Structure 1
Amino acid sequence: MIHDPIPYGRQSIDQTDIDAVVETLKTDFLTQGPKIKEFEELFAKYVGAQYAVAVNNATAGLHLSVLALNFKKGQRVITTPITFVASANCIRYCGGEVWFADIDRESYLLSLESTRALIESKPKGFFAGIIPVDFAGLPVNTEEFRALANEHGLWIIEDACHAPGGYFVDSNGEQQKCGSANYSDICVFSFHPVKHIACGEGGMLTTNSKEIYDTLMLLRSHGITKNNMSENHGGWFYEMQALGFNYRLTDIQCALGISQLAKNDKGLERRNLIAKRYENAFEGKIRFQSLPEKTYNAHHLFVIEIDNRKGLYDFLRASEIFAQIHYIPVHTLPYYQDIGYGEADLANSEGYYSKCISLPMYPTLTDEEQNYVIDKVLTFNEKNI
């Protein structure tokens, strides 16, 4: 019998992480020091991108990404309704319109076909960009989205917050890690505690464009720089060249991030073992997210679908298993309803939401704990068929 509560997600902090933070606390820099650049360079190398920019959270990263792509007020951007609200809100922050395309019913990812149909239903130039999401850790095939975007002159921001280490194999037979930015303009990651790499809070942006990188770096720190100045009155002098923000990450958090990043591949292996055990237990009995060929799921979440979702949710909580729901479709939330999304036709997203529930998924979940979860889910399912 399992006595300790089992959450849907949990950070994995060990002594090496603690030591890394303590070592940084003893240095001269707690913020704006060398650990930030070190983390950025290591992360860029890990995902295969040329540049990385650390920020204080992924929501800030999404905001900066939109601004860095020369976004104009009133422009329209397509994203998925099955995501955390930040994927859509970043467009609203910049005065734009969010348009939702439906998800693929098997993968739960933004549907390429639905996105194409939406784009082609409007005049050329109607949309500015697409924000696909690597939902639950499953990589979007950004090569396919890039081809669609190129047809219509759109940019792509890949929301990879669930998927550091995930990848798909492209048409050239090459692994494309989430965040490589080979088919996206900018990619965004999260370092929230339940994510793969925990920094308390934090985020990372990756890109292969030097121009975009320079813009992100400028906007991250108030729009202030000492580079390319028209004049220099002394060592103290700087210029504010744009209206930027204080979206910086600290050296303390970056020290933790560096330590966490070094263990991510091991964590991914464990997440995939956990996923395989769930799949073996539920195959033919309970529906779960599909895995397209030549794709490696980073498994931030393991989502199943069940008709009596509320019943299972309550049953698991009574058993001290704290499953979660990811996510309420963004277009159904009061804010978006109030600004005109009440008539959106997104049947796949709403059908998914009516049945989805995320089971515990994190590297330190033990086999005993997982067996307990599986037993409870199957027991409930058998009684409610």
Structure 2
Amino acid sequence: MHKFEEMFREYKEVKHTISLSSCTAALHLSMIAIGIHPGDEVIVPTMTFAATANAVIHAGGKPIFADCEKDTMNIDPQDIKRKITPRTKAIIPVHFAGRICNMDEIMDIAKKYNLKVIEDCAHSIEGEYHGRKAGTFGDLGAFSFYVTKNIVTAEGGMLITNNEEYAEKIKLLALHGMSKDAWNRFGDKGYKHYSIVYAGFKYNMTDIQASLGIYQLPRIDRYWNRRQEIWHKYNEAFKDIPMLTPISPEQHSRHAYHLYTLLLDLDRLNINRDQFLDEMTRRNIGVGVHYVALHLHPFYQQNFGYKRGQFPNAEWISDRTVSLPLSAKLTDEDVTDVIDAVMEIVKNNIKRTCSILKGKSLITVKKSQVTSTLY
């Protein structure tokens, strides 16, 4: 475990790394470490996984949702500003799909309003922005090594920080609140007494999990290069069909290429997103949805009063988004199978007349003209 922490500390060039059982645990402990209490508000994107918001709730705080940018799918700094109140204590930017948020603007907002920043880097282990690594902009950075992530420990997470006080508190909270080095109480040097100093949790990473990370981390760039290759193959293949492909990575940044998200052009297709998912599954292609925005889920509507219509960009994406397979283990044949499946479904479901992108211009064409270009 300590070896993996040391390796990740060197990779991220930070002072402190704490290995944990999950990224969810990392987010939860971050909330406690920065002092979130009942009544405090934390701004999170509605376009994210439930763990981001639930970590705030478990610490006693209230998640305040912000809309995302339609092109990047990342939290919109302008909407962050609109959501700040006297009760706001922190912001959790999520580097969606591997694309780092506009951290310059977010950190300027945090500084102006004296807010803490916890980066949710579950999608962005390799991400960089203007020469800095994901997770090093805010007070704390949370990472995931879940089985679907860019490197895996089956389950697992990591917190990074340059704040020694946060690091020490989180280490104690992660193992029942037991005093320092209690993990070694059954060591070869004899029994060590310990004290309970916090009502802590069982959030530690196991040595078995860490051993997987030790094996995986040296391969991270090789995996990244392969996912980048596949990402660009998809973009090239889908550029002239009624789908919106991810925009190019921003200058002076490094996209982690964790997800490849297509957006269906529903105005030009005789099929909705869920029907498209079913068609892909019928062709034995694994697909996902990242995500249905949190404010559209019943728990957040019933407990916090959110409803459809409040976050138009996130809702527009929620209705159209499909995640295609993106793994370093995909063969070229696998990638071709994915592309062929998408093309076939589009060919069978394109409207009789529609507008398609040609370069930067929209042109209207007949169905026969579009389908003839699909193969």
Question: Which residue number in structure 2 is paired with residue 277 of structure 1?
Answer: 233
Unaligned 5+ runs, structure 1 = 1-35, 170-174, 228-233
* Residue pair 1:103, 1:109 contacting (<8 A) in 2 also: yes
* Structure number with higher relative contact order (C-alpha < 8 Å, ≥ 6 residues apart): 1
Q: Does 1:254 align with 2:210?
A: yes
Structure 1 runs of 4+ aligned residues shifted over 6 Å read none
What are the Cα deviations for residues 115-173 of structure 1, in whole angstroms up to 9, with x where unaligned?
12222xx3xx321100010111111232321111010010011000111111111xxxx
Paired AA for residue 237 in structure 1: H
Alignment of 1:1-385 (within 5 A): 36-119=1-84, 122=85, 125-169=86-130, 175-179=131-135, 181=136, 183-226=137-180, 236-285=192-241, 286-290=243-247, 291-306=249-264, 307=266, 308-343=272-307, 345-385=310-350
Deviation of 1:224 (Å):
1.0
Q: Matched residues in 1 for 2:61 and 2:289: separation?
A: 28
Deviation of 1:342 (Å):
3.0
Deviation of 1:299 (Å):
1.3
Q: Matched residues in 1 for 2:195 and 2:334: separation?
A: 56
Deviation of 1:235 (Å):
5.7
Question: Per the alignment, in what secondary structure is the counterpart of residue 91 of structure 2?
Answer: strand
What are the Cα deviations for residues 292-333 of structure 1, in whole angstroms up to 9, with x where unaligned?
222211111100001221221111111000111111111111
Deviation of 1:42 (Å):
0.6
Q: Matched residues in 2 for 1:196 and 1:68: separation?
A: 27
* Residue pair 2:295, 2:307 contacting (<8 A) in 1 also: no
How many aligned residue pairs are there?
A: 334
User: Which stretch shows the higher mean deviation, 283-292 or 184-193?
Assistant: 283-292
* Residue pair 1:326, 1:357 contacting (<8 A) in 2 also: yes
What are the Cα deviations for residues 203-226 of structure 1, in whole angstroms up to 9, with x where unaligned?
000001111111111111111114
User: Which stretch shows the higher mean deviation, 46-55 or 292-301?
Assistant: 292-301
* Residue pair 1:47, 1:164 contacting (<8 A) in 2 also: no
Q: Matched residues in 2 for 1:322 and 1:245: separation?
A: 35
Unaligned 5+ runs, structure 2 = 182-189, 267-271, 351-375
Q: Matched residues in 1 for 2:236 and 2:174: separation?
A: 45
Deviation of 1:335 (Å):
0.9
* Residue pair 1:134, 1:162 contacting (<8 A) in 2 also: yes
Q: Matched residues in 2 for 1:329 and 1:343: separation?
A: 11
What are the Cα deviations for residues 207-266 of structure 1, in whole angstroms up to 9, with x where unaligned?
011111111111111111147xxxxxx963211111111111111110111111110111
Deviation of 1:283 (Å):
1.7
* Residue pair 1:226, 1:237 contacting (<8 A) in 2 also: no
Q: Matched residues in 2 for 1:304 and 1:376: separation?
A: 13
Paired AA for residue 339 in structure 2: I
Q: Matched residues in 2 for 1:114 and 1:147: separation?
A: 14
The share of aligned pairs that are identical, in percent, is 34
Question: Per the alignment, in what secondary structure is the counterpart of residue 63 of structure 1?
Answer: helix
What is the alpha-carbon root mean square deviation over aligned residues?
Answer: 1.6
* Residue pair 2:27, 2:52 contacting (<8 A) in 1 also: yes
Q: Matched residues in 2 for 1:160 and 1:288: separation?
A: 22
* Residue pair 2:36, 2:60 contacting (<8 A) in 1 also: no
Q: Matched residues in 2 for 1:145 and 1:336: separation?
A: 25
Q: Matched residues in 2 for 1:255 and 1:289: separation?
A: 34
Paired AA for residue 344 in structure 2: T
